Amino acid sequence: MAEFTSKEQQFLSFLHEQNAYKEALTTLQWDSHTQIPRGGVDSRSEVVGILSGKLQEAETSDRMKDFIEEMKATSDNELILQAAAECEQVYDKNRKIPNAEYQEYVTLCSKAEAVWGEARNKDDFSLFEPYLSRIAGYNQEFAERFGYKEHRYDALLDTNEPGITVKTLDEVFPELRKSLTGLIEQVQASPVKADVSLLKTPFPTVQQKALCEAMLKLIGYRMEDGRLDTSAHPYSFAINQNDVRLSTKYVQDDFRASVFSAIHEGGHALYEQNIGKDLAGTPLSAASSMGMHESQSLYWEMFVTADYGFWEKNYDWFRSFAPEHFKSVSLDEFYLALHDVKASLIRIDADPLTYPMHIMMRYEIEKGLLNGDMKAADLPTIWNDLMRDYLGVVPENNEDGVLQDIHWSSGDFGYFPSYTLGYLYAAQLHNTMKKEVPFDECLKTNDFASIRNWFTENVHQYGKTKQPLDLLRDATSEDLNPTYLVEYLTKKYGAIYQF
Amino acid sequence: MAEFTSKEQQFLSFLHEQNAYKEALTTLQWDSHTQIPRGGVDSRSEVVGILSGKLQEAETSDRMKDFIEEMKATSDNELILQAAAECEQVYDKNRKIPNAEYQEYVTLCSKAEAVWGEARNKDDFSLFEPYLSRIAGYNQEFAERFGYKEHRYDALLDTNEPGITVKTLDEVFPELRKSLTGLIEQVQASPVKADVSLLKTPFPTVQQKALCEAMLKLIGYRMEDGRLDTSAHPYSFAINQNDVRLSTKYVQDDFRASVFSAIHEGGHALYEQNIGKDLAGTPLSAASSMGMHESQSLYWEMFVTADYGFWEKNYDWFRSFAPEHFKSVSLDEFYLALHDVKASLIRIDADPLTYPMHIMMRYEIEKGLLNGDMKAADLPTIWNDLMRDYLGVVPENNEDGVLQDIHWSSGDFGYFPSYTLGYLYAAQLHNTMKKEVPFDECLKTNDFASIRNWFTENVHQYGKTKQPLDLLRDATSEDLNPTYLVEYLTKKYGAIYQF
What pLDDT is recorded for position A2?
57
Half-sphere exposure (Cβ direction) of A163: Cα atoms closer than 13 Å = 16
The sign of the torsion formed by the CA atoms of A344, A346, A347, A352 equals negative
The burial of B63, by beta-carbon neighbours within 10 Å (0-12 exposed, 13-18 middle, 19 or more buried), is given as exposed
What pLDDT is recorded for position A258?
97
What pLDDT is recorded for position A477?
98
Catalytic residue among A265, A294, A301, A399: A265
Nearest 5°: phi and psi at B281? 80, -5
CB atoms within 10 A of CB B48: 18
What pLDDT is recorded for position B13?
96
**What is the ipTM score, two decimals?**
0.93
Q: Which of B20, B47, B225 sits opposite A39 (nearest CB)?
A: B225
pLDDT tens, residue by residue, A111-156: 898 899 999 999 999 999 999 999 999 999 999 999 999 999 999 9
Tell me whether residues A23 and B47 touch, CB distance under 8 A: yes
Beta bridge partners of A236: A246
What is the distance between the alpha carbons of residues B207 and B229, in angstroms, rounded to a whole number? 14
* 3-class secondary structure, A55: helix
The sign of the torsion formed by the CA atoms of B185, B186, B192, B198 equals negative
Beta bridge partners of B246: B228, B236
Distance from CA of B105 to the nearest CA of A (A): 21
* pLDDT for A1 beyond 70: no
Which residues in chain A have their CB less than 8 angstroms from residue B38's CB?
A: 224-225
B392-428 CB burial, b ≥16 within 10 A, e <16: eeebeebbbbbbbbebbbebbbbbbbbbbbbbbbbbb
pLDDT tens, residue by residue, A280-338: 999 999 999 999 999 999 999 999 999 999 999 999 999 999 999 999 999 999 999 99
* 3-class secondary structure, B247: strand
Residue type present at position A99: N
Q: Which positions ≥6 away from B76 have C-beta within 8 Å?
A: none
Q: B246 near B198, Cβ under 8 Å?
A: no
Name the pTM for this structure. Answer: 0.94
Distance from CA of A447 to the nearest CA of B (A): 24
Q: Which of residues 235-294 of A touch B (CB under 8 A)?
A: 239-240, 242-243, 245, 280-281
Q: Are strands A243-248 and B228-230 parallel, antiparallel or unpaired?
A: unpaired
| Cα dist from B38 to A31, A229, A242, whole Å | 17, 16, 8
| Annotated catalytic residue A399 | no
**Does residue A39 sit at the B interface (CB-CB below 8 Å)?**
yes
Q: Are strands B243-248 and B235-240 parallel, antiparallel or unpaired?
A: antiparallel
| Cα dist from B351 to A122, A427, B194, B337, B372, whole Å | 62, 66, 13, 12, 32
Measured between CA atoms, the residue of chain B closest to residue A245 is: B37
Tell me whether residues B23 and A47 touch, CB distance under 8 A: yes
Q: Which of A39, A224, A242 sits opposite B224 (nearest CB)?
A: A39
**Does residue A31 sit at the B interface (CB-CB below 8 Å)?**
yes
Measured between CA atoms, the residue of chain A closest to residue B38 is: A224
Distance from CA of A214 to the nearest CA of B (A): 17
Distance from CA of A63 to the nearest CA of B (A): 16
Q: Which of A21, A43, A225 sits opposite B242 (nearest CB)?
A: A43
- Residue A52 is inside which H or E element, if any? helix A41-59
Q: What number is the average pLDDT over the span A163-178?
A: 97
> pLDDT confidence of A107, banded at 50, 70, 90?
confident
Tell me whether residues A37 and B243 touch, CB distance under 8 A: yes
* 3-class secondary structure, A254: strand
Residue type present at position B215: M
Q: What number is the average pLDDT over the span A31-54?
A: 92
Q: What number is the average pLDDT over the span A221-236?
A: 95
Catalytic residue among B8, B86, B161, B265: B265
* 3-class secondary structure, B243: strand
Residue type present at position A134: R
- pLDDT tens, residue order, chain B (499 aa): 558 999 999 999 999 999 999 999 999 999 999 999 999 998 898 899 899 999 999 999 999 999 999 999 999 999 999 999 999 999 999 999 988 888 899 889 988 988 999 999 999 999 999 999 999 999 999 999 999 999 999 999 999 999 999 999 999 999 999 999 999 999 999 999 999 999 999 999 999 999 999 999 999 999 999 999 999 889 999 999 999 999 999 999 999 999 999 999 999 999 999 999 999 999 999 999 999 999 999 999 999 999 999 999 999 999 999 999 999 999 999 999 999 999 999 999 999 999 999 999 999 999 999 999 999 999 999 999 999 999 999 999 999 999 999 999 999 999 999 999 999 999 999 999 999 999 999 999 999 999 999 999 999 999 999 999 999 999 999 999 999 999 999 999 999 999 9
> pLDDT confidence of A3, banded at 50, 70, 90?
confident
Tell me whether residues B35 and A243 touch, CB distance under 8 A: no
Mutate to test the interface with B, among A242, A244, A273 (most CBs of B within 10 A): A242
Q: What number is the average pLDDT over the span A238-247?
A: 97
Degrees to nearest 5, angle at CA A480 with A477 and A485:
105
Tell me whether residues A27 and B23 touch, CB distance under 8 A: no
CB atoms within 10 A of CB A45: 11
Percent with pLDDT over 70 in chain A: 100
Please tell me what DSSP assigns to residue A303.
I
